[in-house]
Structures are given as C-alpha cells and as structure tokens.
Amino acid sequence: MIRPSATRIALIYPELLGTYGDGGNAIVLAQRLRWRGLRAEIVEVPAGEVVPADCDIYLLGGGEDEPQVLAADGMRRNRSLLRAVSGGAAVLAVCAGYQVIGATFPAGNGQIHDGVNLIDVETRRSFEPPDAPPPPRAVGDIVVEPSPQLGLPTLYGYENHGGRTRPLPGFRGIPLGTVRVGVGDGTPARTDGVVDGKVIGTYLHGPVLAQNPALADLLLTWVHGPLAPLDGPREVGILRDARAHALAEG
C-alpha cells in the first residue's frame, strides 16, 4: 500500500561507512520514489548518535577497519536497527556494512570483533588453515547472477575488500547471487551477498543501486508494495550494456 507520509531512508554513520561513495544509494532510492510522485526523506545518522528506529530503509556502506569497529560498537549499544528490522524495515549493507551486520568480522590487527547479529554470517581474512597463505585482496569488477527467486537482472559493481564471508549453521536466507566475474564472498560456493527477509548484504560498490536500479526497486517494493515501473534515464541501460560487452571481451 502506498503511504501518504515520506519514506524515511537512513544513511548510517556516513563518515565511518562512506569510503567508497555508497551514500549515493540513498540518493538513488529517494529519486526513484520522487519520479513516481512519492515523498522521500534522507536521514543522515552521524557517528555517535542513536540510530532512529522509525525509518523505512537503512543503508550501510564500506569503510576501513577502525571505523568499521566503531560503527559496530555504536550499533550494538542501542540496537535500534534490530528493532526497526523486526518492525518491517529494509536494509542494504555494502562491504564493511555487510560484515558489520553479521556475527563477527576481523579488524586490521587480526582481532575478531562482534557484529550486530542482524544476519547469520561470519567474516574472516581467510577460512583456509592458519599455515596457508592469505588470499589476495578482492579488487575490481564484479558481476553477479541473482538468485532466481529475486526476479532481478544481472548485477554489476566493483569490489574492494580483504574479507571472506560465509553463512553460519542455521542461516535461513539465500545468496544474493552467483559470482560470474570477481570474488564476492570468496567461498567455494562462488556467491556474493545474502538476502534474509528484507535485509540485503553484498560486496558490490558502484554505488550498487545506481548501476542496478532493479535492485533499488526491490527494496522499495518491500516498503511500499508494487510500484509503477519506471523507464529511468537511458544512460543507465547504455552503461550497463557497455559494461557487459567490455567484460565479455575480457
């Protein structure tokens, strides 16, 4: 059902989790609502402030090791994000944000830190035996074929991370998709990301919603229900086609 009030889009700790321009995801969501004649409000939540529990969509982006630890500590203290998700809010968490909303993640010194426990995944530098050489950092293009039940076209983005992420026993979600180009989660399953209820975690930067407007609309339908389709700027389709062609040629 279309709501009369503005859709509130929370951008969590952008000064900590905004290294790779992922704050652009908020702009994409807001603009796609406005193109449909719907109201949108972007709520920036600075580090140190309580995350509001009354937003509709929550966004977390990428960041470096120490800011990532600070972000996790802040969200664990007030637990507003967990309450919001329990109340039906949607979440998109990218890269460091994806790791933070899981159970545990590593910092630069190798120490393992507690995450927010919003999704049942864990992140390490490597899941190989301790005496094995560490895997190289994942940097470059990433192409993901989404899980069929999501009804999405191919996803394009960039990745830049040193973590490897896997689901924990009892995880009840699905992968965001299968990696065709790139590393993604970095596990033998060759997947990237997860979808658990209305929560999406992924390693795709871009910003991911600018390059993949269908993924943006999936988040919006979780909040609003079915929405009128948009043609959107022709440039997005042209750029996606050019990207696919360039990657196919290697």
Strands 191-196, 164-167: parallel, antiparallel or unpaired by DSSP? unpaired
Strand order in the sheet with 7-12: 40-45, 7-12, 57-60, 90-94, 199-202, 191-196, 174-181, 138-146, 155-161
- What residues are annotated to the active site? 95, 205
Cα 56 from Cα 83, distance rounded (Å): 12
Cα 123 from Cα 187, distance rounded (Å): 11
Strands 191-196, 199-202: parallel, antiparallel or unpaired by DSSP? antiparallel
Query: Which residue, 9, 88, 98, 5, is CA-closest to 51?
Result: 9
Query: Which residue, 94, 243, 75, is CA-closest to 176?
Result: 94
Residue with tokens 């590593």: 106
Residue with tokens 């988040």: 219
Query: Which residue, 37, 13, 35, is CA-closest to 23?
Result: 13
181 touches 133 (CB < 8 A): no
